[in-house]
Amino acid sequence: MNHFEYRNGSLFAEDMRVTALAKEYGTPLYIYSAATIKRHFKAFDSAFDGLDHMTCYSVKANSNLSVLKMLAEQGAGMDIVSGGELYRALKVGVAPEKIVYSGVGKRSSEIRQALEAGILLFNVESVAELLKINEIAKEMDTIAKVSFRVNPDVDPQTHPYISTGMQKNKFGLDIQHSLEAYKMTADLDHVEAVGMDCHIGSQLTSIDPFLEALEKLLDFYKELKGLGIDIQYLDLGGGLGISYDEEEPPHPNEFGRALTYMLKDVPLKVILEPGRVIVGNAGIMVTEVLYTKSNPTKNFLIVDGAMNDLVRPSLYGSYHRIAEVEQNGRNTEEYDVVGPICESSDFLARERELPRVVDGERLVVYSAGAYGFTMSSNYNSRPRACELMVDGDTVSVARKRETYEDLIENEL
């Protein structure tokens, strides 16, 4: 139950009727459920109660301040990948010592910003980055805490664009190079190696690849210990999948149990960086049918939500469940649901059976809470959608719809 359900044929977001929200705030419209976000965070975090751990929500999945604030209030730390995300996390009051900074390409200014803020640690992805952090920390007369992101060369069996832990991927350091990096750190005065990090990919629907990676990390941890290199943190990244369609990803409890078992005698503080599993099914996108048209082979539903609003179908061929906001009881028809953008890849669904709809009806696109709004753009000079947060029968505008003035604001 994700707090998006039909009551007498009308879709509700918690206690608010979606049609009423769409009329008031327009479409395309993102709607998030506060109760769902909180429930998902609690379910995830408590799955690791048997371990000394910290859940650092991965800001990139949904970085709206309302979402971040809610999670911060639940006790979440944050996993960031840019100065912009650091700015957001600090803005909502996340304690810097609960922030970890990942990513292959941190700029000097961002490293400085993070050191000034006093974040917990950097997940370092190359020797060049390590040297850069050392140099900046020296200038600032401080010592930066680092983990190395180990690329364990494990196939996460997910979409190639979101697999990150294989040798062909740009992420992290292979174990041999990680070992050299740990040794090198011992000789540098302004960096201290405090942890080990790994993130093998996103939308994983089995825990086996996580456990395979963990085994490799634990062997490596022992090797480091034997060399007198002692660390305190083990960051296992994010990546737990959600159900978009028929997938049956493991419940966080299953993941929690397996990790607790494997780590029972390991004196490390575990860091987790979930994104999608917290917010993915806590958000929907609502769109209105502008026109219908058919040719001898296809029926098209032309809707006002497009690839600039939700790029996942175009970029990864991702499936998002679509249904009517007001159930109409008509027979189904096969449709391509497409947006107004001038690209053939601008679709939300292809060859999808949907009850026959007419112009002006609204559709709900499910599982849009993660990598939905955060990946949106202004392509075709389309102002970005409005985001709402619903909490019971209370609605707040989490981000107002952009205007034409917003579009040109920074252009001289």
Name the residues that contact ligand LLP, by CB under 6 A: 58, 61, 79, 102, 162, 199, 202-203, 237-240, 273-277, 312, 316, 370-371, 375
Q: Closer to ligand LLP at the Cβ: 155 or 353?
A: 155
Structure tokens at 95: 């304690």
Spatial separation of the C-alpha atoms in residues 46 and 107, rounded to whole Å: 35
Do 330 and 244 meet the contact criterion of CB atoms below 8 Å apart? no
- 410: which residues sit within 8 A by CB, 6+ positions away? none
To the nearest whole angstrom, how small is the minimum distance from the Cβ of residue 138 to ligand LLP?
Answer: 26
To the nearest whole angstrom, how small is the minimum distance from the Cβ of residue 167 to ligand LLP?
Answer: 17
Q: Closer to ligand LLP at the Cβ: 188 or 204?
A: 204
Closest CA to 287 of 61, 30, 77: 30
Closest CA to 114 of 83, 89, 138: 83
Give the HSE-up count for residue 247: Cα atoms under 13 Å, Cβ half-sphere. Answer: 20
Do 193 and 182 meet the contact criterion of CB atoms below 8 Å apart? yes
Q: Specify the residue for token string 């022992």.
A: 222
Q: Closer to ligand LLP at the Cβ: 302 or 375?
A: 375
Q: Closer to ligand LLP at the Cβ: 41 or 371?
A: 371
How crowded is residue 17: how many other Cβ atoms within 10 Å of its Cβ?
15
| Active-site residue, selected from the candidate residues 56, 198, 342, 386 | 342
**Which residues partner with 285 through β-bridges?**
30, 365
The angle that helices 34-46 and 65-73 make with each other, rounded to 10 degrees, is 40
First to last CA, the chain: 48
To the nearest whole angstrom, how small is the minimum distance from the Cβ of residue 54 to ligand LLP?
Answer: 13
Q: Closer to ligand LLP at the Cβ: 181 or 395?
A: 181
To the nearest whole angstrom, how small is the minimum distance from the Cβ of residue 251 to ligand LLP?
Answer: 15
342 in catalytic set = yes
To the nearest whole angstrom, how small is the minimum distance from the Cβ of residue 23 to ligand LLP?
Answer: 29
Spatial separation of the C-alpha atoms in residues 48 and 194, rounded to whole Å: 21
Secondary structure element (H or E) that encloses residue 178, with its range: helix 175-186
To the nearest whole angstrom, how small is the minimum distance from the Cβ of residue 41 to ligand LLP?
Answer: 12
**Which residues partner with 145 through β-bridges?**
192
How crowded is residue 392: how many other Cβ atoms within 10 Å of its Cβ?
12
Q: Closer to ligand LLP at the Cβ: 324 or 372?
A: 372
| 100 phi/psi in degrees, rounded to 5 | -115, 145
What residues are annotated to the active site? Answer: 342
